[in-house]
């Protein structure tokens, strides 16, 4: 896709969002089903079903998706698509690019072994490997804009308010 094609795709959307800002607020949703004897959660995605389970560090056998890895997948996917869109908009040629997300978490926290150990990712590192003929200043700007416009990056950098609720089914 070149810049003309990208602009043609996005121009009507940008105009609609300028005219009607409420239409730009998009809902993201996921569902998981827990049933049966195994410690798994079936996630029904519009692309494919995913079975999430315990990480080997918490008793899993490694055959199921790990939620922390899935979060890193989401970050890589969002940053990768954003990187390509921004490079296209900036007319920066990308011969090849790789996006790598790495997160660290302490299994003691989630297993309740040590109440002082954190539960959740303590650090996330995002690495961009860029093969391009563009000057380094343009590449730096590309990365800055990618971070700025990547939904998952910004969500992790500035966590949203989270509300938890439950319903008891009859």
- Is the same domain home to 75 and 61? no
Q: What is the pLDDT of residues 93-128, one digit of tens each?
A: 999 999 999 999 999 999 999 999 999 999 999 999
User: What's the pTM value of the predicted model, to 2 decimals?
Assistant: 0.92
- Is the same domain home to 83 and 138? yes
Q: Is residue 12 in some structural domain?
A: no
Number of domains in the chain: 2
Write down which residue in 6, 40, 65 finishes a domain. 65
Structural domain containing residue 48: 31-65
Buried b (16+ CB within 10 A) or exposed e, 106-133: beebbeeeeeeeeeeeeebebebebebe
Write down which residue in 65, 82, 110 finishes a domain. 65
Q: Is residue 2 in some structural domain?
A: no
Q: Is residue 38 in some structural domain?
A: yes
74 neighbors 152 (Cβ within 8 angstroms): yes
List the Cα angle 3/101/134 in 5-degree steps. 35
Residue 147 belongs to domain with CATH number: 3.30.300.20
Q: How far is residue 170 from each of residues 33, 35, 36, 167, measured CA to CA in Å? A: 17, 16, 18, 9
Residues facing residue 105 across a β-bridge = 121
Q: What is the pLDDT of residues 145-167, one digit of tens each?
A: 999 999 999 999 999 999 999 99
Average pLDDT over the chain, rounded to whole? Answer: 96
Q: What is the pLDDT of residue 47?
A: 85
Q: Is residue 59 in some structural domain?
A: yes
CA distance 31 to 49: 11
- Is the same domain home to 77 and 150? yes
């Amino acid at each position: 896709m070149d810049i003309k094609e990208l602009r043609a795709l996005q121009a009507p959307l940008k105009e609609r969002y300028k005219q009607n800002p409420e239409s730009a607020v998009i809902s993201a949703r996921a569902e998981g089903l827990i049933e049966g004897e195994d410690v798994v959660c079936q996630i029904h995605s519009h692309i494919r079903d995913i079975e999430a389970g315990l990480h080997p560090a918490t008793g899993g056998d490694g055959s199921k998706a790990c939620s922390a890895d899935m979060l890193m997948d989401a970050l890589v996917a969002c940053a990768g698509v954003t990187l390509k869109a921004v490079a296209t908009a900036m007319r920066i040629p990308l011969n090849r690019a790789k996006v790598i997300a790495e997160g660290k978490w302490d299994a003691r926290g989630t297993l309740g072994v040590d109440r002082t150990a954190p539960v959740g990712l303590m650090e996330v590192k995002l690495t961009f490997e860029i093969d391009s003929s563009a000057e380094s200043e343009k590449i730096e700007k590309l990365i800055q804009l990618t971070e700025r416009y990547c939904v998952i990056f910004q969500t992790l950098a500035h966590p949203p308010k989270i509300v938890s609720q439950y319903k008891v089914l009859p």
